[in-house]
Amino acid sequence: MNRWIEKREEDRAFAPKRGLWQRIKDVALMDVAVLVKGVDAAAIEALEERLLAADFGVPATLHLTEAVETEALKGKLRTENELREFLKARLVELLDPDGASIEIARAPAPPTVVLLVGVNGVGKTTTLARLAHLLQERGESVLLAAADTFRAGAIEQVKAWAARLDAPVVAGQAGGDPAAVVFDAVDAAIGRGMTYVLADTAGRLHTQADLMAEVAKVARVAGKRLEGAPHETLLVLDATTGQNALAQARTFGAALPITGIVVCKLDGTARGGVVVAARRELGVPVKYVGLGEGLDDLAPFDAGAFAEGLLR
């Protein structure tokens, strides 16, 4: 998470883009004096615009601006720092309302089955490998399921990661039934006494109903081999896709029970509001963020550090 903050600072040094806080400050500065007087409609509208531009989405934006307005009217936002701290606290509240655990699920009895889902190219397979790596470092034994039987080269991609991670892999035939691959993988993990099964799935457009039904079936079939599986279904989003990620969250969330969010490519954007928007849409915690393409570039999500980074 801290690398994200550092990266943002670096980016800004190269291309001095104005960060969200800089832009919000403009609003506040019309001025801190405006806030003291009780905030005028124009200042609130401008704040709204800034948040929308940073991909916060309408509901989270309205929530935040209303909170600022109420607080300012109470005369409690008199300085720039008060505004910043107030916004930061509201962001943490939105991102982590109940102090929900961002820990990856753990089945009552092994193996824990984790399914990675999302649209094409968001970072599912890379996340699979990086998550396997994190778990291995904690002493878990991980089996990979190459259940993207659709995209050419997807099975080889998982096999290559498996070789690099020295993890067993269960793969089916190209074009085969992904649900059967996951079923076999869970079966193999039980047989081998592995503690985690991480299953890759094909990228699919959330607008394609048949493919959404297929991924729901993959989840159901996992549960047929092992009760309670998948114990974790992670929706992977690409931070650079902005508001479309929200539509993805909505349709994937309707198709199958998503238990956590992974936001990849956060290193590729200065906006990041989509993290807040998706959290709010799905009501499940953001568990990890992707900060680069390497094996070590997956970080457990830290709401406080994220809010700090956004408002720096």
Ligand X SMILES: Nc1nc2c(ncn2[C@@H]2O[C@H](COP(=O)(O)OP(=O)(O)OP(=O)(O)O)[C@@H](O)[C@H]2O)c(=O)[nH]1
Partner whose footprint covers residue 25, from Mg ion, ligand X, none (CB < 5 to 8 Å by kind): none
Q: Rounded CA gap, 54 and 229, in Å? A: 36
293 binds, among Mg ion, ligand X, none (CB under 5 to 8 A by kind): ligand X
Beta bridge partners of residue 264, listed in sequence order: 238
206 binds, among Mg ion, ligand X, none (CB under 5 to 8 A by kind): none
Measured CA to CA, the distance from residue 53 to residue 243 in angstroms comes to 10
Q: Are strands 142-147 and 169-171 parallel, antiparallel or unpaired?
A: parallel
Two structure tokens written together for 294: 């390497």
| Residue 248: both structure tokens together | 């993805």
Subset of residues 230 to 269 that bind ligand X, contact rule: CB under 6 A: 264-265, 267-268
Q: Which does 126 bind (CB under 5 to 8 A by kind): ligand X, Mg ion, none?
A: ligand X
Rounded CA-CA distance 173/269 in Å is: 37
- Least gap, CB of 121 to Mg ion (angstroms): 8
285: helix, coil or strand? coil
Question: Within positions 110 to 149, which residues make up the interface with ligand X, using CB under 6 A?
Answer: 118, 120-126, 148
- 178 to 207: interface string for ligand X, x by CB under 6 A: -------------------------x----
Sheet with 196-201: strands ordered across: 169-171, 142-147, 196-201, 112-117, 232-238, 260-264, 286-290, 298-300
Q: Identify which of residues 8 and 124 has a Cβ nearer to Mg ion in the complex.
A: 124
| Partner from Mg ion, ligand X, none binding residue 268, C-beta < 5-8 Å depending on class | ligand X
CB of 289 to ligand X, least distance (A): 7
Say how many residues touch ligand X, by CB under 6 A: 21
Q: Is the separation of the CB atoms in 33 and 27 below 8 Å?
A: no
Which partner, ligand X, Mg ion, none, binds residue 122 by CB below 5 to 8 Å per kind?
Answer: ligand X
- Cβ neighbours for 92, distance < 8 A, ≥ 6 positions apart: 303, 304, 307
Return the number of the residue (125 or 248) whose C-beta is nearest Mg ion.
Answer: 125
Residues 87-126 as x/- pattern, contact with Mg ion by CB under 5 A: -------------------------------------xx-
Quick note: the x/- pattern for ligand X over 267-306, rule CB under 6 A, is: xx---------------------xxxx---x---------
Contacts of 48 (CB under 8 A, 6+ apart): 61, 62, 65
- 198 DSSP β-pair partners: 114, 144
Least distance (Å) from ligand X to the CB of residue 9?
17
Closer residue to ligand X (CB): 72 or 134: 134
Q: Closer to Mg ion by CB, 118 or 272: give it.
A: 118
Residue 280 CB: number of other CB atoms within 10 A? 18
Query: How many helices and strands (H and E) does the chain possess?
Result: 13, 8
Helix (H, G, I), strand (E, B) or coil at 7: helix
Binding site for ligand X (CB under 6 A): 118, 120-126, 148, 151, 154, 203, 264-265, 267-268, 290-293, 297
Q: Which residues form the interface with Mg ion (CB under 5 A)?
A: 124-125
